[in-house]
Chain A
Amino acid sequence: MARPGPSSRGPQLHVWRYLGVLVASFVALYTTVAFAGPGSAWLKPKLGLDLQGGAQVILTPKTEAGKNATADQLSTAVEILRQRVNGAGVSEAEVFTEGQQIVVQVPGGNRDSIQSVTRAAQLQFRRVVEEQQVVQQTPVTPQPTSTAQVGGASPSASPTATANKRPVTSGLAAAASASPSPAASGTPAPAPTPAPTASASPDPDALPPGFVRSGEVYTPQAFAALDCSDERARQGGAPDVPTKEIVACDKDGRFKYHLAVAKVVGRDIKGANVGTDQLGSEIQVNLQFKGGGQDRWTKLTEEAFGQPAPTNQVAITLDGVVYSAPVIQSVINGDAQITGSFTQKEGRDLANVLKYGALPLTFESGDAEVISASLGDDQLRSGLLAGGIGLVVVVIYSLLYYRALGFVTITSLLVSAGLVYGSICVLGKTMGFALSLAGIAGFIVAVGITADSFVVYFERLKDEIKEGRTPRSAVDIAWKRAFRTIMNADTVSLLAAVLLYFFSVGGVRGFAFTLGLSTLLDIAVVVLFTRPLISLMSRYRWFARSRWTGFYGPDGGDPFTGGPRQARTTVPQEA
């Protein structure tokens, strides 16, 4: 290693430590990408609606005939839905009104998840008045041909059932798990059409008159008529008025309840998150209450505690369906939990929905549709092409201007691109970060801001060398000053990112996130890569040749190196 001149300034920079940290970050990032979530194509970022399409569902408010939902109700509903689908603001999901309807569009096209966000989410806590077990046949054979047999056999299997008014057609449960079909109306169909997946969602008008849904107001007749084995009864959506007693089914159709008036409702909830129970075996959703809600919840458990079964149970209902009805074993002063054999994802969806509150209206949710990208491939390709052309020009320019140091610029930009890409992939999997064309353009602009850090540093270096420093000492002093400049400027960018993120919603939020991300990565790259690389290069003799670096010494020739060649000058290299 050729060391130009006796100009070492204190301890050398531990170049390899910095580069080591960088390599470690890269490995960590891309390992996370590989293991994060269920990603089939693990190195593919999630794209936004405009580039990839997604799923959409149209919600029609259920109002009394002839009445329209008010603009206020609609905009509140839009706001809540937007938070549900795009809470972090980075998923590029869209919620907007079309006349009286609300359209929800989610990139990536998972029909199940879009259905789950559109539920009304009326959460209520009610004491149990009556409870009945419903005969439940495990649907072993989901073939339609077996439906009739099982359905016919079920009355004989009913001794365990208490007052089960209607024969259970458990074939329904099998069919219904895909999509409730109007054909499966409770009467054993001779040859059900094997097309449950193709059917539209149940038309509410198609329900037979007198059909009782879970969540309707209690009357002895309604309680008797409620058939919890019928999937349609457990769809939710009945107007479960908090001040009335209701009849309800549990989520799986195994129990039927008569419930008292609601004492605690969704408005009393402060927060919700998903976790597991004490044994760690079952997923549960934890609910935290607001002050008043906490009092009401504690009082409710006080009332139920020690009562004879089943009135010692408190049912937690969501949109009129009982999720869990735990026996109250003590007066509870803290949080409540909802269990109900959730998957992790269901639990997360539920917590997410509860957190942002109930919708002000009940909606009829249409069938989820798959929507295509609104921008053709040509836009994406042209965008990338344009960015690519721009980058090539940047590369040529930096090679011309900074000569050998241009390679530092280019490799730094490549490192930066690698970090950005990895982060996008990870964030796409962990928090649904989706990249729209606008986002891509944002990152292309970020190239400029990233490159600026190098430019500030190099220009500073040039100045210092021109003022007579040796390249080696200039590398350090220029770094100190350039870094201060970079930090001052990046602080402004970060301020913009953080404040816009916390104040805004929708696309603006996504922008703020992108800005913050690229600013942080900019600092990481310049500290962990550019500076160590320059420091390393400055130890070689060629670094002191202006034809390589474009740096000129005070006399317009090669930089001053403290060697004999420059003995005639008297500028000391040490400050």
Chain B
Amino acid sequence: MGLIHRLYHGDTQFPLVRRKKVFYVVSIVLVTIALGSIVFRGFNLGVEFKGGAIFTVPAPKDVSVEDTRHFVEDLGVAEATVQTLQSSSGDTKVRIETPPLSAEERDKVLSSLGERFDVRPNEIDSREVGASWGEQVTRKALQGLVAFLLAVILFISLRFEPKMAASAIVALIHDLILAAGIYSITQFVVTPSTIIALLTVLGFSLYDTVVVFDRVAENTKGLEKTNRHTYSEAAELAVNQTFMRSINTSLIALLPVSGLLFVGALLLGAGTLKDLALALFVGLGSGAYSSLFLATPLLADLKMREPRFKALEARVLERRGKGGAAPVRLSQRSTHAVPPAQGGAEEPVDAPEDEVPVPAATATQVRRPSPPPRRKKGGRPGRPSGKRRR
């Protein structure tokens, strides 16, 4: 209950930035596994990318697309696309598209189809086809991608700052590698739907990161004036403040997708739904994870190298040292609930929300709860914990 309660009330203080090394290691391991699989196992490309075989069989008018597909797949063909064709003269044919087949497989399919539709194998038209998703489509999609990434880097750099752009792009690449890697690991067939899903992931990953960074930017505005918190601490606060939002958004986005994945993979076995849903599921999950656990710590790392934030850190530490207090962890209720380490009311309480000036009178309220050093179990739920000491 305790964790859920804190989550619900937005009181989390996860050490996401302080424990960044753990997350870096996790991400590096996952990315290495994904990359390794991509390099050594490769992808199981669909007919659209590498071509395949096409069989056209005369068939009765009421032939079922679904049954034919199952029939062909039961012959050991990985993924078949089946359509019926009706010419203007009323002849019906079934068109079956399969991945490239060996000569034996091809003969097997031919003879089985011949038996099923009661036609001689030589009445079946079979031929090899090229990739329908041509190089040109890929090339243009890549051009679009590069243009988009440049535009995003420019946008984030101008709207926020270049270091945020760098972190966001790293997180994005992380998400794409993981989502692509899962296809290599599971050997699910990569189809145009998969590519579309990867592009969706790309959009979502950046979207999610921008939401978190928006809060980071807000929290770190005017940070240097207060000498109260380092950049890392402010960034960590932002992550915690947006934590519940990230969980909510990811749940709301992932629940329907997991429905698609479940139905697509388990009930139907094959097809567009599965192709899409796996990339979406992994990508959206990874997108939510990376904006909190990867992009923000990375940003904090980059920023902490700047001389001005190094200086800030020194001032903050000095201040805390002078007061003899352990470093104050920024609480989500910073405006009201973080009393100065000394409990003094002579300074205005630090407010990341600088538009919310808190008058001196706040001090009376701030002192009132007289928070214990640690949250007491069994205390009134929802009561502000005030500051916490290590």
Which residues of A does B touch, CB under 8 Å?
A: 50, 53, 56, 75, 78-79, 94, 96-99, 111, 179, 197-200, 367-376, 378-379, 382-383, 385-391, 393-394, 397-398, 401, 436-438, 441-442, 444-445, 447-449, 451-452, 455-456, 459, 462-463, 466-468, 477, 481, 484-485, 488-493, 495-497, 499-508, 511-512, 515, 550, 552, 554-557, 569-572, 575
Contact = CB atoms under 8 A, between A and B. Distances in A.
Contacts of A379: 268, 271-273
A371 B277 CA distance: 27
Given A376-B66, A488-B159, A511 B206 contact: no
Contacts of A493: 203, 206-207
B253 A451 contact: yes
B136 A389 contact: no
B260 interface: yes
Contact of A503 (B88, B144, B152, B277): B144
Given A371-B84, A448-B284, A492-B155, A556 B382 contact: yes
Which 7 residue pairs are nearest across A and B when measured between Cβ atoms?
Answer: A448-B253, A390-B256, A556-B382, A503-B144, A96-B132, A386-B259, A390-B259
B129 A97 contact: yes
Interface string B343-385: 0000000000101111101101100000000000000111110
Contact of A387 (B8, B64, B87, B260): B260
A515 B86 contact: no
Interface in B142-195: 143-145, 147-148, 151-152, 155-156, 159, 192-193, 195
Nearest to B261: A386
28 contacts: A97-B129, A97-B132, A99-B129, A111-B88, A373-B83, A374-B82, A386-B263, A390-B257, A397-B255, A438-B197, A441-B260, A445-B204, A445-B280, A459-B248, A467-B333, A488-B211, A492-B152, A495-B148, A495-B152, A500-B148, A503-B143, A504-B140, A505-B136, A508-B196, A512-B199, A569-B365, A570-B365, A572-B361
Contacts of B242: 459
A88 B51 CA distance: 26
B8 to A, nearest CB: 7
Given A459-B10, A552-B9, A373 B264 contact: no
A304 to B, nearest CB: 41
B141 interface: yes
B215 A383 contact: no
Contacts of B256: 386-387, 389-391, 393-394, 444-445, 447-448
B176 to A, nearest CB: 13
B135 to A, nearest CB: 8
Contacts of B214: 484-485, 488-489
A467 B134 contact: no
B320 interface: no
B224 interface: no
Contacts of B336: 467-468, 554, 571
Interface in B229-275: 241-242, 244-245, 248-260, 262-264, 267-268, 271-273
Interface in B52-77: 54, 64-66, 69
A556 B143 CA distance: 53
Contacts of A389: 256, 259
Contacts of B241: 463
Given A99-B127, A386-B262, A489-B211, A368 B151 contact: no
Contacts of B307: none
B353 A507 contact: no
B390 to A, nearest CB: 24
A367 B88 contact: yes
B388 to A, nearest CB: 16
